[in-house]
Chain A
Amino acid sequence: MDISSDYVAARRALLDTLEILAPHRDALILVGAQAVYLHAPGGLATPAYTTDADLAISPDLLATEPEITALLVARGYHPTSNPGGWTAPGGVHVDLMIPDGVLTTSSRRRAPLDGHDSKTARRAAGLELALVDHSPHTISSLDGADTRRITLNVAGPAALVIAKAVKLRERLDAKDKSRVIAKDAGDLLRLLRMCDAAAIGVRLADLARTTPHSELIGSTVAWLAGEVQGRNSQVVRLAVAAAAGTERSSAIARSMRDLVRRLG
């Protein structure tokens, strides 16, 4: 697998962040592209690529101290204008997010956490399953000179499929289309291709039965199934763009429709 320098830097920043937040590591779950690539390093001919590190926080497991913002600022991290957004000293963007569904309803983006600054983390839709569908993985550096290895909970493929689909839906439905990113559809396709879409479907059905997130799962899968079946599917179009000409668009469309159908 080709590894871009940006991805190497993003992994380095992730490891740095995990070291800094070691006292809270039990409450952290890796989500986003880095989690996707741990499960699905292949799946598309275009190389895995990301420039940031995304961490979900389980509020129930988070200790009230040490205070996260103070820890990060002390190590040279700068908060961005968005709550939960941090710029690491190397320039890599790190996001700390709380699943919207586990917080009390609010129109504000910042996520209140006992004992922590109000801008430490932000609300994010679609990450709810990551709190219940995850498993420990050893995260290692992509830079040969860096020997660090840290064990961290990583969201499972089922949780990541829902997270990616929710993100795509949210951005496609928004008036401002500038945040629609082809890579998200590509990451979704990687997961479906490499993690056995039928097995993900079984897992989602199980999570729908055993967690309070059946509505999220049902509505997201239904939206995705309907979206990709359409002749003018935006998700398929984005996935084709993510493949960057390495596959025929008809093959991507057929693949996406076939695999999404297996989700149930």
Chain B
Amino acid sequence: MTRNTALFGTSALLDDFMAAIHTFVPRSQIRCVVHPATFPSGAGTGVDAIVCWTLGPFNLQFDVEIKLDAAAPRALTPSSKGSKEIIPVVIARYLSPVDRRRIMSEGSSYWDSTGNVLIQHAEPLIRIEREGAQRSPEPTEREDRLESLKGRGAARVVEYLLTSGSTTGPRDLVRSMHFPDFDDPDSVGVATASRVLTLLREENFCEPTGGGAIVVKDRTALARRLIEDYSFVRSNRAKRYFSPMGREGALTTLRSKGISAAVTGLQGAAEYLVGKDMRPTLPPNDLWLYAADARQVEQVAQLEFAPRDGDIYVADAPWMFDTHNYYPAPVGHRAYPWRIAFDLMSRDGRHAQAGEDLLAELVRTAR
């Protein structure tokens, strides 16, 4: 957070605020601006400026708190609660919806230069409300920071890191993964990868390499961190179905017809372990699929939407089947084992345990 009227930009922001107030109530007068250096003794702390506003017979006073860096929402606290004449107001280049709700709930007012305005006062009764931008027009680095790994992109970055163990950086990672929507190394793909890597570095999941390669410190911990946010069903928007053909019949039919669908979950884990001459810890009791074309899978496997009791989950995931542009590519219509592990871990009970078991096996063999 940066808050100081001495900083560049503060006066311009204040000028714009005053102009806006005058636009809303043309007959009012904005009489004076008092900067902290000339504050009367006893002025509220945290107030960056005082703006006097004459509205008919009422002489009101804005206690202005100026936020130059709007990306510190948790630090935003209006400095003074409104007395009869005082209207506490927070002004900034941009205030997020969360910031605005919070300020409003505290009984304060706000204004930002994108046009978001709420001026509220009890006596005289004043309520001026306008809506401006809902997203920051100039996101700062901090604002752009990833706070969650729940997205599909984040899961793909983590999957890559679990598989490879390291990368030299976001560009290298994106080139290696060949994300189809990230073909251009300068596109959002690099930005996404960079944000994920930044978060993982900040949360201490990478070895300290002095700015060198990004090396995963502990794959188990990384997978567990992912599933704090990630969910196979929610992150991939998987839908739940019933098939009169049964799970086994549906899968056999999809495979016999060459439909691009990769198993994950218990079925994926079982197939992976059997392929390694190992015994699955749990028999599958449901079927989770990534589909190149979910509608095609619905038709071929005769899937009926069953959000409450279906035992087949299908996630539409065409990106997984672009073998030129996805690393690691599915092997034999099965998702890659690290993904199977964290997909399972993202559920609870027996699924989570099977995921932990598979993860332990993968970590063991990765050494």
Co-complex (A, B): yes
> Across the interface, do B242 and A44 meet the contact criterion of CB distance under 8 Å?
no
Chain A: interface residue total (CB-CB under 8 A): 20
> Across the interface, do B309 and A255 meet the contact criterion of CB distance under 8 Å?
no
Segment at the A interface, from B88-96, B247-255, B328-336, B343-351:
B247-255
A186–B251 CA distance with the chains assembled, in angstroms: 18
Decide yes or no whether B246 CB sits under 8 A from chain A: yes
Q: Contacts A194-B245, A247-B246 given; indicate if A43 touches B311 (C-beta within 8 A).
A: no
Decide yes or no whether B283 CB sits under 8 A from chain A: yes
**In the complex, chain A residues whose CB is within 8 Å of the CB of B252:** 41-43, 194
- Chain B 234-269: CB-based contact to A (< 8 A → 1; otherwise 0): 000000001111111101110000000000000000
Q: Contacts A45-B283, A45-B284 given; indicate if A251 touches B242 (C-beta within 8 A).
A: yes
> Across the interface, do B311 and A247 meet the contact criterion of CB distance under 8 Å?
yes
Decide yes or no whether A135 CB sits under 8 A from chain B: no
- Chain A 234-246: CB-based contact to B (< 8 A → 1; otherwise 0): 0000000000001
> Across the interface, do A251 and B311 meet the contact criterion of CB distance under 8 Å?
yes
Interface size range on B against A: 10 to 19
Query: How many Å from the CB of A259 to the closest CB on chain B?
Result: 5
Q: Contacts A246-B285, A248-B309 given; indicate if A42 touches B244 (C-beta within 8 A).
A: no
> Across the interface, do A246 and B249 meet the contact criterion of CB distance under 8 Å?
no
Decide yes or no whether A250 CB sits under 8 A from chain B: yes
Contacting residue for B245 out of A41, A193, A248, CB 8 A: A193
**In the complex, chain A residues whose CB is within 8 Å of the CB of B247:** 45, 247
Inter-chain CB contacts under 8 Å: number: 54
Contacting residue for B244 out of A190, A248, A254, CB 8 A: A254
Decide yes or no whether A258 CB sits under 8 A from chain B: yes
A255–B304 CA distance with the chains assembled, in angstroms: 11
Query: How many Å from the CB of A71 to the closest CB on chain B?
Result: 38
A136–B242 CA distance with the chains assembled, in angstroms: 34
> Across the interface, do A42 and B242 meet the contact criterion of CB distance under 8 Å?
no
> Across the interface, do A43 and B248 meet the contact criterion of CB distance under 8 Å?
yes
A45–B246 CA distance with the chains assembled, in angstroms: 9
Closest partner residue, chain B, to A192 (CB atom): B244
Query: How many Å from the CB of A6 to the closest CB on chain B?
Result: 20
Binding site for B on A (CB under 8 A): 41-45, 189-190, 193-194, 197, 246-248, 250-252, 254-255, 258-259
Q: 14 interchain pairs (CB within 8 A)?
A: A42-B251, A43-B249, A45-B246, A45-B248, A45-B283, A193-B244, A194-B245, A246-B284, A248-B309, A250-B309, A251-B242, A251-B311, A252-B246, A255-B243
